[in-house]
Amino acid sequence: MAAVQDGQMELDAEKETKPEILSDGTSNLSGNTASGTLSSSPLTAAPAGGAPKMEDQQTLIAVLQFLKRNKLTDSVEILRREAGLGEDQEDSQATDGSGGGKGDVDGGDANSLLSRVSITSAAAPQSMPVKRADDQPDVSVVLSAYSQQGDPSLYQVYYSGLKNFIESVLDCHRAELSQLFYPLFVHMYLELVYNNHENEAKAFFEKFSGDQECYYQDDLRVLCGLTKKEHLKGNEVLLDFRTSRFVLRISRDSYQLLKRHLQERHNNQIWNIIQEHLYIDIFDGMPRSKSQIDSMSGSLAGEGRRELNKAKVFHGLLKEPEIEVPLDDEDDEAENEEGKPKKKKTKKDSLGSKSKKQDPNAPQQNRIPLPELKDSDKLDKIMYMKESTKRIRLGPENLPSICFYTLLNAYQGLTAVDFTDDSSLLAGGFADSTVRVWSVTPKKLRKVKSAADLNMIDKESDDVLERIMDEKTASESKILYGHSGPVYGVSFSPDRNYLLSSSEDGTVRLWSLLTFTCLVGYKGHNYPVWDTQFSPFGYYFVSGGHDRVARLWATDHYQPLRIFAGHLADVTCTCTRFHPNSNYVATGSTDRTIRLWDVLNGNCVRIFTGHKGPIHSLAFSPNGKFLASGSTDGRVLLWDIGHGLMIGELKGHTDTIYSLKFSRDGEILASGSMDNTVRLWNSMKAFDEVETDDFTATTGHIHLPDNSQELLLGTYHSKSTPVTHLHFTRRNLLLAAGAYNSQ
Amino acid sequence: MTEREERRFAEVPRESIKLMAESTGVELSEEVAALLAEDVCYRLREATQNSSQFMRHAKRRKLSVEDFNRALRWSNTETVCGYGAQDALPFRPLKEGELFFVEDREINLVELALATNIPKGCAETMVRVHVSYLDGKGNLEPQGTVPTAVQSLSEDLLKYYQQITRAILGEDPHLMKVALLDLQSNSKIAALLPYFVYVISGVKSVSHDLDQLNRLLHMVKSLVQNPYLYLGSYVRSLVSSVMYCILEPLAASINPLNDHWTLRDYAALLLSHIFWTHGDLVSGLYHQILLSLQKVLSDPVRPLCSHYGAVVGLHALGWKAVERVLYPHLPAYWANLQAVLDDYSVSNAQVKADGHKVYGAILVAVERLLKMKALSLTLAAGGGSADLPGTTTGAVGFRENSPGLSPPPEPLSEPPLGIASHLQAGGAGCQWEEWTPVSLPAMYCELYSFFGDSLAVRFSTDPPLGGAPSSRSCQPLEGRKEPASGAPNLENTRKMPQLTASMNISPRQDGSPRMEPQPPSLAATVSGRSLARSSSSSSSVSRSRSSSSRPGRSTSQSRDIFPKARFPLPQAGPPAFSFIIGGRQMGRRCQGRRFQTSFTPTPPLNTLPPRAYAHKLPVIGRVSKPVRRWTCSHYSLHLPL
């Protein structure tokens, strides 16, 4: 049963990966059918099959043009052959010049884009980094949509006319149609600005900005400073607002109502905007209530499209094939180990309510090639088993003890913290570009001896691993120098041999915890890298940065294996987390959305909207079914990954939530925040109370109970220490870390 | 609405733009300036918005210049240098003309480079861990608060506690009595014990208020006497509070009108009470207390009232404590006390009065010491163990003979002195290691050299009377306050009720507390040691002095008068040496002594030279100030009866 991996698996890993990626990339480029839904006619709820084909072709042509410009003739040939495009087609498109959005990729990335990267979501071509000086033509293309203009003085009339209409309709429709206000407002304002009607734009803004929902304040602030056409070009936030269609979810009845109204009034201006810049996702059934809408809205680009969340996600856990074997050996050796593996199994079953055999939701064991377990890893697994048998079963009556690791004298500014899984090491990233590693057990940190000294060691001795360590270097902490900017993310590898750090200088660095030196600097992000994390199985890691993409790396590749692009606007992937089965990666962003990416093919399989502020923390539940996210608005949202639904809202924090962690059994969710508190939530109850009947599953219209207070199990204050990181030890002791803030 | 929107952002006015342009030598038209101003505003806003991203990821609330510069750098704009200071730079207007500027102090680099007060590098960044919340519950108890037991008190107990403390510390004496009585007998207050101990430990904060101190001591007494309370480790706290009252130069003692002496006496009584009733709990404390008492005694800087406290404290701990601490200290201490008492100046009057108190206290202590020592020896001899020399057997014998008075615990449980020897600070030449039991005659000689006839105990050297029963052996003991009006010569008048009373009422004071350790009894070496000791200044001088001062007295004469106590002296053979103990010969009117003690000195002592300070002794020890001495001693010691 246990799928023991071959010895050469690891060796093959690289070979296996590459062809996969290649094929993925091509398949995506050639037939981006599943997700390429940029329908030209927004009136149809489900896009026709032909439209995306067309769109894809345009994209391809854009890429071809780019390649040509960069004299990459071979690539052009290959691409043309594979895509089956004729030269004439391309030319006609080129002269046409209105090819929707053209992906523009950095020269350095062009190859990687073609060879390894999969461009996945529909918006991908448009949302590639648009920063070069030479993308000015493209920008103007994008903006030119605004050039069609009506009488600027009538804009206010149009808008207030629509406002009056919406306010006069039946209550059940009003809430839904009110969603139109914000995108219409933004687009009309931008049109005015684009057409140099500065005064009208200002007046328009002043008159109607007060009507918008409060959670759009941040965007309105950006908008309001923007009054010149020249400014539009540089402002990436608005550029992305333009290029991506704002998604609205409206019931068919409401939509018919709106359509009839606009046609009666011949209100073409608004109709044009709706057609061109909005994507209206029409569903059949009851209109949604105001609270339902509010809970899902707030993102920069509206709600996630329903069909985008339909993809199958293998959220089950991988079987742990290797574990039973060594543990059984252990049993033979030592009787007192008897029964432990069974215990472990039952525990897991009760958690995920999975069958003992194969979780139907679990991905194929080798869906993602995983590194083979080394002997030391097996030993560690056994240790983990032993520890987990001593684990305290948590619950509402049995709350965890909290240990607080306070970093004192951190005047340089603590920016990131991570614990090893066995809670023996603590790493801190600091604003002064250093990474510090502490041992939080009595065991000191030691370096490996120098090469000359290593030669003198008897390599056959049993304690060779001990002998290679240099006692003279033993100390409680070590400082790692190498970055040239604040370190925003740190992550230990599961085997505790490596440490990753991501920094403002655009690099991710891999450090050895044996020599305490830097091994690799991964350059790929062109902008600050906000976060990085190792896969739960090691080898892979993901990083997310200011350049709006998350990248998947393998430690032995200096270039990324995947680029996850799709986050919008001036988006920064603020936090990146691996799914426990390592097949998915979740990223949160300042565009107030969370996306779940498939590591295998780079597709975006889930978009979660509902946060009203940038997302700063994410956590998968141990059984892989749920996701928790925390943002600057102080709310924690819970998501059901399988159904793609929001299932809970935890209110209580008063400041940005920088850390989230589920207890080892998933019963308790701990959240740490800038407001100097740790809060514990009854996540079991939150998950249990979800009614996932067919209707909500299909429509995604969940009605959230407001039960934050019931779910809140405790609030624990530190004196003046923001909680930067939380960690549950293997025995379910909660560790918190933060820097004491004397001000 | 409009204005609100306008005020959302800081605006750079076109005038500023023009000024800045002028400063670089560019002339701008109004239009250009306006356009530029607007653009500058927008760019600034944009940069600020971008910089907030850096702030958020650095997990700060405060936007720093660094953040702003980063945003500028990433948008390919030159960064602004020179504003990285941590503290805010003041932005000031110039009085004449509408000019604003950032105050930028000039820094003298030479000064900075040659500065001697180099700032120390800030402390190492480190990780400290503490369990903040155990099982989800905070350990909220800050240090130094009332023990947690109190928090779990029931409502009724809390009320009781409040009422009792209010009554005891309040004004009404009747209420206080009731409260104390209840405290003595209530069987349900165990949970409140820590609370009461906590209250009592407040003695240090009321050292100015004798009344309150007294009340607190009474509270201690009640707690100690309560048979239902197990004091446990709290007894230490109680003892330390009592010791505070005994030893500390209380704020209340500044005023001579305050009778803090009584308080000290009472505290000493309480101390001995604790030691006698809870000896098992305080065994470890005995030597610590002896040590602290000794320290006070050997510290000449301490005020006399502290010395007084030390003496009464030792007295309360029993005659063995006196013998071991006070007695060896006496020669050294005597000189200081003498100086005080010899000063007749007016300014010294108060100190002198205090000195007399101490003098009286010492006198009482040593008298008891002599009496008890004599008694123990007598008992040892009379108890059929005449062949056993040495004081230790005497002590044991005494205890065995008086079981009803103070049921002694098994003597074997007494810790040996050796344990305490390390506690001894080398003060005034009294080393525990050196300590050897001084023979009674030698002791008496020395004490006599200090006190002269003030000593109410007299010894004679008569041989033991054959018919003297052991029960009579208590007769030689005599309280010094006993009126000597009766015919002192008569033996039957010596059977004083006071004497027996003193034996019966305060039996504990007469012996050592239960926990008193046995001296290192080296029976074989006693004689040799004491002989060796005879060469030391104090004993030899006193002996020689006493022998020289009364050469003419015949032993037989005194034997006739005071045929009371006799004991075999180890070094002199079985009946060779005995003292006559006499009562105080002075009457209330204090005409002076009528009787002198005589004894035959041991022959070898005759050859020793007279003691240096023996000449001074008549001044205080003899007839010169009998009245004063009497009055002093009259109320000097609140005898722990």
Between the ranges A562-566, B93-97, B597-601, where is the mean pLDDT highest? A562-566
Residue with tokens 């205890």: B399
Higher pLDDT, residue A211 or B510: A211
Q: Where are the alpha helices (DSSP H) in A169-265?
A: 171-178, 181-194, 198-208, 217-224, 229-234, 236-243, 252-265
- How far apart are the C-alpha atoms of A529 and A549, rounded to whole Å? 10
- Among A82-96, A416-430, A450-464, A702-716, the range scoring the smallest mean pLDDT is A82-96
Interface test with B, best of A531, A546, A676, A715 (most B CBs within 10 A): A546
- Nearest-CA distance from A402 to chain B in Å? 5
Average pLDDT of every residue of chain B:
64
- A395 pLDDT tier (thresholds 50, 70, 90): confident
- A694 pLDDT tier (thresholds 50, 70, 90): low
Q: Residue A584, by phi and psi: left (phi above 0), alpha (psi -120 to 50) or beta?
A: beta
- How far apart are the C-alpha atoms of B46 and A239, rounded to whole Å? 14
Contacts of A376 (CB under 8 A, 6+ apart): A495
On the question of pLDDT at A489 being above 70, the answer is yes
Q: Nearest Cβ partner of B122 from A405, A409, A477?
A: A409
Q: Residue A394, by phi and psi: left (phi above 0), alpha (psi -120 to 50) or beta?
A: beta
Reported as a single tens digit per residue, the pLDDT across A364-385 is 777 888 888 787 788 888 888 8
- A87 pLDDT tier (thresholds 50, 70, 90): low
Judged by CB atoms closer than 8 Å, whether chains meet at A226 and B41 is answered as no
Q: What is the mean pLDDT of residues A586-615?
A: 87
Contacts of B67 in chain A (CB under 8 A): none
A118 and chain B in contact, CB less than 8 A: no
CA-based nearest residue to A387, from A582, A581, A619, A664: A664
Interface test with A, best of B59, B79, B87, B122 (most A CBs within 10 A): B59
Q: What is the mean pLDDT of residues A3-13?
A: 41
Residue A510 is predicted with a pLDDT of: 95
Q: B462-475 burial, b if ≥16 CB within 10 A, otherwise e?
A: bbbeeebeeebbbb
Residue A743 is predicted with a pLDDT of: 61
On the question of pLDDT at A428 being above 70, the answer is yes
- How far apart are the C-alpha atoms of B142 and B432, rounded to whole Å? 43
Reported as a single tens digit per residue, the pLDDT across A211-245 is 777 778 777 777 777 777 777 776 766 666 777 77
CA-based nearest residue to A598, from A124, A118, A31, A61: A118
Residue A245 is predicted with a pLDDT of: 76
**Single-letter amino acid code for the residue at A666:** G
Query: What share of residues in chain A are helix, strand, coil (percent, to 5)?
Result: 35, 25, 40
- How far apart are the C-alpha atoms of B561 and B595, rounded to whole Å? 10
- B579 pLDDT tier (thresholds 50, 70, 90): very low
Residue A301 is predicted with a pLDDT of: 73
Residue A141 is predicted with a pLDDT of: 56
Judged by CB atoms closer than 8 Å, whether chains meet at A413 and B60 is answered as yes
Half-sphere exposure of B406 (CA within 13 A, CB side): 29
**Cβ atoms B564, B457 nearer than 8 A:** no
Q: Nearest Cβ partner of B127 from A407, A485, A504?
A: A407
Q: Which helix (H) or strand (E) holds A542?
A: strand A540-545
Residue pairs between chains A and B whose CB atoms are closer than 8 Å: 134
- B572 pLDDT tier (thresholds 50, 70, 90): very low
Residue A670 is predicted with a pLDDT of: 93
Reported as a single tens digit per residue, the pLDDT across A698-724 is 565 666 667 778 888 888 888 888 899
- Integer-rounded Cα radius of gyration of chain B: 40
- How far apart are the C-alpha atoms of A383 and A709, rounded to whole Å? 38
Between the ranges A307-311, A354-358, B619-623, where is the mean pLDDT highest? A307-311
- A16 pLDDT tier (thresholds 50, 70, 90): very low
On the question of pLDDT at B194 being above 50, the answer is yes
Judged by CB atoms closer than 8 Å, whether chains meet at A408 and B126 is answered as yes
- Among B158-167, B262-271, B502-511, the range scoring the smallest mean pLDDT is B502-511
Scanning every residue of chain B, which has its alpha carbon at the shortest distance from the alpha carbon of A547?
B74
Contacts of A399 in chain B (CB under 8 A): 135-137
Scanning every residue of chain B, which has its alpha carbon at the shortest distance from the alpha carbon of A506?
B74
- Among A283-287, A585-589, A620-624, B288-292, the range scoring the smallest mean pLDDT is A283-287
Reported as a single tens digit per residue, the pLDDT across B411-448 is 333 333 333 333 343 334 444 444 566 777 777 887 77
- How far apart are the C-alpha atoms of B290 and B76, rounded to whole Å? 82
- How far apart are the C-alpha atoms of A638 and B193, rounded to whole Å? 52
DSSP string across A144-158: HGGG----GGGHHHH
Residue A214 is predicted with a pLDDT of: 76
The total number of residues written for chain B in this structure: 641
Residue A437 is predicted with a pLDDT of: 93
On the question of pLDDT at A319 being above 90, the answer is no
Partner B, chain A 438-467, Cβ-Cβ below 8 Å: 438, 440
- How far apart are the C-alpha atoms of B121 and B105, rounded to whole Å? 24
- How far apart are the C-alpha atoms of B445 and B442, rounded to whole Å? 5
Neighbours of B219 (CB within 10 A): 24
On the question of pLDDT at A641 being above 50, the answer is yes
Judged by CB atoms closer than 8 Å, whether chains meet at B135 and A398 is answered as yes
**Cβ atoms A167, A159 nearer than 8 A:** no
Judged by CB atoms closer than 8 Å, whether chains meet at B57 and A488 is answered as yes
Reported as a single tens digit per residue, the pLDDT across B517-529 is 444 443 333 343 4
**Single-letter amino acid code for the residue at A144:** S
Strands (E), B99-245: 99-102, 126-134, 137-138
- Nearest-CA distance from B356 to chain A in Å? 59
**Single-letter amino acid code for the residue at B214:** N
**Cβ atoms A499, A514 nearer than 8 A:** no
- Among A338-342, A514-518, B501-505, the range scoring the smallest mean pLDDT is B501-505
Judged by CB atoms closer than 8 Å, whether chains meet at B125 and A412 is answered as yes
Residue B314 is predicted with a pLDDT of: 87
- Among A140-149, A709-718, B14-23, the range scoring the smallest mean pLDDT is A140-149
SS3 A629: strand
On the question of pLDDT at B386 being above 50, the answer is no
Q: What is the mean pLDDT of residues A76-90?
A: 65
Q: Beta strand pairing status for A402-408 and B126-134?
A: antiparallel
Strands (E), A584-724: 584-589, 593-598, 604-609, 615-620, 626-631, 635-640, 645-651, 657-662, 668-673, 677-682, 712-717
Q: Beta strand pairing status for A498-503 and A645-651?
A: unpaired
| Percent of chain A residues past pLDDT 90, beyond the cut | 13
- A144 pLDDT tier (thresholds 50, 70, 90): low
Higher pLDDT, residue A672 or B501: A672
Residue A503 is predicted with a pLDDT of: 92
Residue A429 is predicted with a pLDDT of: 93
Burial class (CB in 10 A: 0-12, 13-18, 19+), B491: middle
Q: What is the mean pLDDT of residues A457-463?
A: 80
- Nearest-CA distance from A131 to chain B in Å? 10
- How far apart are the C-alpha atoms of A313 and A720, rounded to whole Å? 41
Q: What is the mean pLDDT of residues A551-556?
A: 91
- Nearest-CA distance from A81 to chain B in Å? 39
Reported as a single tens digit per residue, the pLDDT across A558-576 is 889 988 888 775 555 556 7
pTM for this entry? 0.55
Judged by CB atoms closer than 8 Å, whether chains meet at A404 and B57 is answered as no
On the question of pLDDT at A727 being above 90, the answer is yes
Q: What is the mean pLDDT of residues B563-578?
A: 40
SS3 B15: helix
On the question of pLDDT at B453 being above 80, the answer is no
Longest dimension (CA), chain A: 91
Contacts of A410 in chain B (CB under 8 A): 125
Q: Residue A380, by phi and psi: left (phi above 0), alpha (psi -120 to 50) or beta?
A: alpha
Interface test with B, best of A398, A430, A716 (most B CBs within 10 A): A716
- A96 pLDDT tier (thresholds 50, 70, 90): very low
ipTM of the complex: 0.73
On the question of pLDDT at A123 being above 60, the answer is no
Reported as a single tens digit per residue, the pLDDT across B109-122 is 888 777 776 665 55
Average pLDDT of every residue of chain A:
74
- Nearest-CA distance from B80 to chain A in Å? 17
Neighbours of A395 (CB within 10 A): 15
Residue B90 is predicted with a pLDDT of: 76
- Integer-rounded Cα radius of gyration of chain A: 27
- How far apart are the C-alpha atoms of B302 and B307, rounded to whole Å? 7
A327 and chain B in contact, CB less than 8 A: no
Scanning every residue of chain B, which has its alpha carbon at the shortest distance from the alpha carbon of A725?
B59
Contacts of A477 in chain B (CB under 8 A): 126-127
DSSP string across B362-400: HHHHHHHHHHHHHHHHHHHHHTT-TT--SHHHHHHHHHH
- How far apart are the C-alpha atoms of A564 and A236, rounded to whole Å? 19
Q: Which helix (H) or strand (E) holds A451?
A: helix A451-455
- Nearest-CA distance from A64 to chain B in Å? 29
- Nearest-CA distance from A636 to chain B in Å? 18
Residue B82 is predicted with a pLDDT of: 76
Contacts of A406 in chain B (CB under 8 A): 127-130
Q: What is the mean pLDDT of residues B211-217?
A: 85
DSSP string across A682-715: EHHHHHHT----HHHHHH--------HHHHEEEE
On the question of pLDDT at B618 being above 60, the answer is no
Q: Nearest Cβ partner of B59 from A227, A400, A724?
A: A724
Contacts of A374 (CB under 8 A, 6+ apart): A495
Contacts of A405 in chain B (CB under 8 A): 127-129
Judged by CB atoms closer than 8 Å, whether chains meet at A402 and B133 is answered as yes
Q: What is the mean pLDDT of residues A641-665?
A: 88
Residue B9 is predicted with a pLDDT of: 66
The total number of residues written for chain A in this structure: 743
